[in-house]
Structure 1
Amino acid sequence: MEAAMELAKQALSQISLVPLYGGGFWVAFTQLVVFYYSVGALLHSVLPRFIPVHGIQHQQRKRGEVLRDAFYSIGPLAVKAGVWAAVEQLHARGLTLTYTGRLSGWTAWLYVALCVALLDYLHDTWFYWTHRLLHWKPLYVHVHYIHHKSKAPSAFTGYSFHVIEALIVFANEVLVCFLFPLHLGLHRAYHLYTTLIHEGGHVGYELAPFIPTFAGVAALALRGARPCAALNTVQHHDMHHRFPTKHFSLYFTHWDRLCGTLHPTYDRDLFSYFTPAAAAAKGQQQQQHEEEGGKGQQQQNGVAAAVKAANGVKHE
């Protein structure tokens, strides 16, 4: 046992995060493009062929939507690469709390784990409040509307948004470099990993409880396949694309609960989704679909449609 632990320590001491960073914009952009589109293809096309997936929505994606989202993602990927290149330059000038070198010993790796947990919380908080900002009418109409073109999102919807939105969303990747000591390789690895989270959150079928976050792994170990109401699911964000005034968070549900932006049927629908009674789950989804359709009809046709409906007149 002691020999095995010693081997593990030696292995950890030899691991270097250096290859993950360096090289400026084009290296970062290449990393992002390869990762984003390969993971997107895996989640969108490959995984559903080999495992049974339960689609969240009834409605089908419109023809060309997936290709459109894949194309729109190029701009945000370039912005994110630019952010990473800027972080490298700030580090080179000694202006941040980032550091480099080999991670040696269990205390160094324990600190890395602590950093990941802290990054999860900060990322979720930043995402919630900037997401609400993006739903402010001037920003929604001119910027965030691109992301909401996808009513039935796919993995490639993850970064399908305006470059201005990308600057807002990815700004936290610079800010965290000034908050606490952070290994530059961990910074790159973590924010590459968040690309997976954004893609997985839009995939259109439920991945929970197999979502690879610290909290997700802990919940899986403690609760098994039962959903955890404190953690986001794919269904959580998928509902945001149908109910745009609800569900602004990324990893956790506490901000939505505290700020009153959690959909009133979310908890009920979430647990029904994970029960063997698939028919009941589909019934809940159908109810949501009808509710969405009713709201959309009123918004589209205005007060006249509402008056006609109140008077029992069928609106064509």
Structure 2
Amino acid sequence: MVLLSHFTVELPQIWVFHPMAVFFGMATGVPFPPLWKIAMHIAIFFVIEDAWHYWTHRAMHWGPLYRSVHKIHHNYSAPFGLAAEYASPIEVMILGAGTVLGPIAWCAVTGDLHILTMYLWIVCRLFQAIDAHSGYEFPWSLHHFLPFWAGAEHHDVHHERFIGNYASSFRWWDFVLDTEAGPEAAKARRERKLAKDAKKAKKAQ
């Protein structure tokens, strides 16, 4: 399945990417952008991709789409690194669009993107996906330094429960839209409900 997706979805994208990048005005020569700009663009692309991933991934859990497309990825209830790539070619194309089209749209609007940044972004995104599916919370995992970073534990719960925790990199979409899964999220919901009920009871007195 991984090789099928690589040859049917990713290989054609590799062939057409450079001409498409040039068409949208992406810089391809020297000088290279400064490190601060590369880091800033990659951070922006993580935010854009995370929003795209949340909504498309959540849509993938709708009955017909789940049964015909996304269920393949959920064959592993305890994922490992390679499981990040184990998915239907249709899913790879749809979810992967956020990784490629987000920066392309950014370049089309701002005219400010170097192809080196794009390649480094793709590497970072791939490492993020592997880390999220690794099943391990490493000491160097970003979750330990950024409380709103999702990480492996966040995505493990998604594979265990088959629902909730739809975002790829950050926790804020799941938090704001109340789609967090797992015991901590359930406890927080109970506490919010108890506080709300207590407030109503106090007003009724």
Q: Does TM, scored on the shorter chain, surpass 0.5?
A: yes
Aligned to 1:248: 166
Which has the greater radius of gyration? 1
Aligned to 2:137: 206
Aligned to 1:28: none
Matched, 1:163 2:163: no
Aligned to 1:125: 51
Structure with greater helix percent: 2
Q: For 2:54 and 2:46, how far apart are their aligned partners in 1?
A: 12
Please list, as runs of the form range in 1=range in 2, the aligned pairs for 1:1-316 lying within 5 A after superposition.
72-78=1-7, 79-92=9-22, 94=23, 96-103=24-31, 108-172=34-98, 173-180=100-107, 181-207=112-138, 209-211=139-141, 216=142, 220=145, 228-263=146-181, 265-266=183-184
**Cα RMSD, aligned residues only:** 2.2
Q: Is the 8 A contact 2:157 2:182 kept in 1?
A: no
Deviating 4+ runs (over 6 angstroms):
none
Question: Which runs of 5 or more structure 1 residues have no equivalent in the other structure?
Answer: 1-71, 221-227, 270-316
Aligned to 1:8: none
Q: For 2:182 and 2:84, how far apart are their aligned partners in 1?
A: 25
Name the SS of the counterpart of 1:206 in structure 2. Answer: coil
Q: Normalised by the size of structure 1, how large is the TM-score? A: 0.53
How far residue 178 of structure 1 moved from its aligned partner, in angstroms, is 2.5
Q: Is the 8 A contact 1:201 1:233 kept in 2?
A: yes
Structure 1 residues 189 and 204, CA gap change in structure 2 (3 angstroms) = same
Q: Is the 8 A contact 2:148 2:172 kept in 1?
A: yes
Name the SS of the counterpart of 1:82 in structure 2. Answer: helix
Identity %: 24
Q: Is the 8 A contact 2:49 2:102 kept in 1?
A: no
Structure 1 residues 264 and 152, CA gap change in structure 2 (3 angstroms) = closer
Structure 1 residues 112 and 190, CA gap change in structure 2 (3 angstroms) = same
Q: For 1:163 and 1:156, how far apart are their aligned partners in 2?
A: 15
Q: Is the 8 A contact 1:98 1:183 kept in 2?
A: yes
Q: Is the 8 A contact 1:202 1:234 kept in 2?
A: yes
Question: Which one scores higher on RCO, CA 8 angstroms, separation ≥ 6?
Answer: 2
User: May I ask how many residue pairs the two structures share in their alignment?
Assistant: 181
How far residue 229 of structure 1 moved from its aligned partner, in angstroms, is 3.5
> Can you list the C-alpha shifts for 1:247-289, whole angstroms capped at 9, x where unaligned?
00111100000111002523699xxxxxxxxxxxxxxxxxxxx
Aligned to 1:273: none
